[in-house]
Amino acid sequence: MATETHCPYCSLQCGMRLTGRRAPEVSAWEEFPVNEGALCRKGWSAAGLYGGRERITSPLVRDRETGEWSAVTWDDALDRVVDGFRAAQAAKGPDGVAIFGGGGLTNEKAYALGKLARVALGTSQIDYNGRWCMSSAASAGIRAFGLDRGLPFPLADVEEADVLVLVGSNLAETMPPAARHLDRLRERGGRVVVVDPRRTPTADRADLHLQPVPGTDLALALGLLHLLVAGGAVDEAYLAERTTGWEQVRDSVAAWWPERVERVTGIDAHEVRALAAMLAGSPRVMVLTARGAEQHSTGSDTVLAWINVALALGMVGRRGAGYGCLTGQGNGQGGREHGQKADQLPGYRRIDDPAARAHVAGVWGVEPDSLPGPGRSAYELLDALGTPDGPSALLVLGSNIVVSAPNATHVTSRLESLDLLVVCDIVMSETAALADVVLPVTQWAEETGTMTNLEGRVVLRQKAITPPSGVRSDLDVIAGIAERLGSTASFPTDPEEVFAELGRASEGGPADYSAITYDRIRAEHGVFWGGERLFGESFAHPDGRARMLAVEHRGAAEQPCADYPVHLTTGRVLAQYQSGAQTRRTRSLPDDGPFVELHPLLAGRLGVATGQSVRVATRRGQMTAPARVVATIRPDTVFVPFHWVGANRLTNDALDPASRMPEFKVCAASVAHA
Ligand code: SF4
């Protein structure tokens, strides 16, 4: 009998069927509305995760003297973990222990992890890799709309737009089943605009492709708004009725003439005018941002600038129009709603809100005053590890930090400075290889749990196969640690029981899951929290109005100079996912390794041809990889995919002041024949 479940990878959470108890086979689940049976190459290959010889099936401890690993019992491993945590807290207080979670963990795990930190350990030091995914869009959404839900409408609404502007998204390559909506939009006569420094497979489908200098998307939005104001295209009635702050925003774009936009972004002024004219004449304009716009030290202001464009046109809340963010990780949305984020409690509540603390403490059976306050953001937490004021023990779940952290050489040295590093994983990832204790856990089809996809649709991944003996679920690990720490709070290990508790803890919060059950999810093909479409009548601020906030172009933290004369940008390729810990081990997916994409003009100056080795260096490190000479990238920019060790040794750890998002997407680099 087939089990209906969802892909282990990206935020689309495509539905699929699995058959077979040991070596599952993937087949289409046509009735699931998000992907209608379509899957990308990663989804079709997902079952290849099983049967790999690299699977860890016993807890392992590493001898620091010899570097050798030994298999130990679960009791021994968990005792060692808890002894280490106690020692760290005895030396440094409750914040001596930190937790680093992941945007691919189920809602139940994210919730239990937050509870483990705040109740059993009493530490404020918890954050997760979703901070590096869409925190800039989340921060901007909360400020502008009073609420952050990546897409406040079903993805299929894209088809109803007359103009779709994709800013920094390559969805045709990163989530191919979603590209059908672009095709249907164009079949209807709608137009697609892509803003991206590279001509990607998504840009190939566009009616207009603008190729800005990396890090200048904000200036383009200011210039568009300038032209919309000058052309009388803004919706004054909507602005008066549904927003505040318009006058300041209008005044802030007065000097953004197209020629100034051209100087900053490198986009021809006539193309800026062409896009503004397209927007001005269209009844339904939709703007979607993704990591290309958001992973910047100006990421949240960039998103606010594009939200201002959508609001000024009166589009937000209108069907087939508005603003949304395309989340990346599988549970990028749910992962930030249930308490594994440094500043949040379950239900997307602020941890410094007394009413939220009282409610959640009541569900957990503890005193509100016993809960710690906000902790450090993801990069700041890693940067503090092993320092006199920072944690000396770290528990990692669902993250491969050594590959995915910015300025990764520095972060790796911080991990190496710890007294105790504990990693839960399925294989010996690059991060697990540094650990003192590795705990082997179940994954994807071996367990049940909910995910919240990029639309805010809560879906159910159902257990389809029997896990290998020797592994335990993350929920078991969390409960085992809590019990050994002597916590009096309960830590259930049945996912449905955890989900019910999560629902109670989230009740009344911005992301309220209290009316969602496993049975409803099964019956309804997923359940949207907050409703299918948001903002039709009002926004989530107390007065119901959206906030328009004036923002300024500042540019990237690093600009090209004599030593580092080009821009470096990073991103994904079709066959790999995130740090590659799973997809690089899936035999049916090609693993060609990293490469350096550069323009023929730059390659000619360097005397480099495709396939030859080039060295890319930044102020933080260097890497060597084969060149790919392509005319689809700006001549002043090079691109490296981030699925392998290397790219993030180069990236910049400059943080966005509001979201604490590192500037993954652009830094200054040098390139040379290796
Ligand atoms: Fe999986 Fe995303 Fe591919 Fe769908 S688009 S099959 S969710 S990786």
Length of the chain: 674
Q: Any idea which residue has 């603390």 for tokens?
A: 357
Pocket flag, ligand 1, residue 40 (CB < 6 Å): yes
Distance CA 153, CA 394 (A): 38
The pLDDT score that the predictor gives to residue 577 is 87
**DSSP letters along 222-263, please?**
HHHHHHHHHTT-S-HHHHHHHEE-HHHHHHHTTT--HHHHHH
Third-level CATH fold of 566-673: Barwin-like endoglucanases (2.40.40)
What distance in angstroms lies between residue 531's CA and the mean position of ligand 1's atoms?
24
Give the Å distances, CA to CA, from 11 to 135, 150, 151, 329, 581.
15, 10, 11, 5, 17
Residue pLDDT, tens place only, 444-471: 999 999 999 999 999 999 999 999 999 9
The pLDDT score that the predictor gives to residue 113 is 98
What distance in angstroms lies between residue 458's CA and the mean position of ligand 1's atoms?
16
Pocket flag, ligand 1, residue 414 (CB < 6 Å): no
Pocket flag, ligand 1, residue 12 (CB < 6 Å): yes
| In the predicted structure, residue 22 carries a pLDDT above the cut 80 | no
What distance in angstroms lies between residue 177's CA and the mean position of ligand 1's atoms?
7
| In the predicted structure, residue 573 carries a pLDDT above the cut 90 | no
Out of 427-436, 512-521, 581-590, which region has the weakest mean confidence (pLDDT)?
581-590
Contact 465, 24 (CB under 8 A): yes
- Beta strand 126-128 pairing with 420-425: unpaired
Pocket flag, ligand 1, residue 329 (CB < 6 Å): no
Give the phi and the psi of residue 634 in degrees, each rounded to 5. -60, 145
What are the residue boundaries of the structural domains of the chain, listed by start? 3-49, 60-129+336-447+466-490, 135-326, 566-673
Residue pLDDT, tens place only, 150-186: 999 999 999 999 999 999 999 999 999 999 999 999 9
Residues in contact with 519: Cβ distance below 8 Å, sequence separation at least 6, in sequence order: none
Third-level CATH fold of 3-49: Phosphorylase Kinase; domain 1 (3.30.200)
pLDDT band of 592, cuts 50, 70, 90? confident
CATH homologous superfamily of 135-326 equals Dimethylsulfoxide Reductase, domain 2 (3.40.228.10)
Q: What average pLDDT does range 208-215 have in this prediction?
A: 97
What distance in angstroms lies between residue 137's CA and the mean position of ligand 1's atoms?
21
| In the predicted structure, residue 50 carries a pLDDT above the cut 90 | no
Pocket flag, ligand 1, residue 177 (CB < 6 Å): yes
Pocket flag, ligand 1, residue 664 (CB < 6 Å): no
Pocket flag, ligand 1, residue 13 (CB < 6 Å): yes
pLDDT band of 212, cuts 50, 70, 90? very high
**DSSP letters along 593-619, please?**
---EEE-HHHHHHHT--TTSEEEEE-S
Q: What average pLDDT does range 10-17 have in this prediction?
A: 96
Helix (H, G, I), strand (E, B) or coil at 388: coil
Return the residue whose CA atom lies nearest to atom 2 of ligand 1: 10
Q: Any idea which residue has 């009635």 for tokens?
A: 237
Class of domain 60-129+336-447+466-490: alpha beta
pLDDT band of 52, cuts 50, 70, 90? low
Q: What average pLDDT does range 627-645 have in this prediction?
A: 95
Residue pLDDT, tens place only, 131-159: 998 899 999 999 999 999 999 999 999 99
Give the rounded percent of residues in the chain with a pLDDT score beyond 90.
92
What distance in angstroms lies between residue 291's CA and the mean position of ligand 1's atoms?
17
Q: Strand locations in 412-492, DSSP E?
A: 420-425, 437-440, 449-452, 457-461
The pLDDT score that the predictor gives to residue 49 is 78
Partners of 472 in beta bridges: 441
What distance in angstroms lies between residue 325's CA and the mean position of ligand 1's atoms?
17
Arithmetic mean of pLDDT over the chain: 96
Provide ipTM, 2 decimals.
0.99
Q: What average pLDDT does range 78-93 have in this prediction?
A: 98
Return the residue whose CA atom lies nearest to atom 3 of ligand 1: 40
Buried b (16+ CB within 10 A) or exposed e, 387-413: eeebbbbbbbbbbbbbbbbbbbeebbe
Give the Å distances, CA to CA, from 281 to 182, 276, 277, 320, 352.
20, 9, 6, 15, 45
Pocket flag, ligand 1, residue 9 (CB < 6 Å): yes
pLDDT band of 582, cuts 50, 70, 90? confident
